[in-house]
Amino acid sequence: MLQDEFGTVSVTLFPQVFPLVQELLLEDELLYIERTLEKRFGRPQVKIKYAQTTKRI
């Protein structure tokens, strides 16, 4: 789940992306992500294409 000041949304990481970002997935860590947003079963869902910590920006 991804959460911001507007609410919470489901996040999907595909198998080819997960190994690249799994070490970044820490609770309360800020991330920069490139994503697509779509609706699935009537609810918003984020598909992550790329991620990095904000410490690298």
- pLDDT 10s digits, 21-52: 888 888 888 888 898 988 888 888 888 888 88
The C-alpha atoms of residue 13 and residue 35 are separated, in whole angstroms, by: 10
d(CA 20, CA 36): 17
How do the residues of the chain divide into helix, strand and coil, expressed in percent and rounded to 5?
20, 55, 30
CA neighbours within 13 Å on the CB side: how many for 52?
Answer: 4
Predicted model pTM = 0.60
pLDDT tens sequence across 8-26: 888 888 888 888 888 888 8
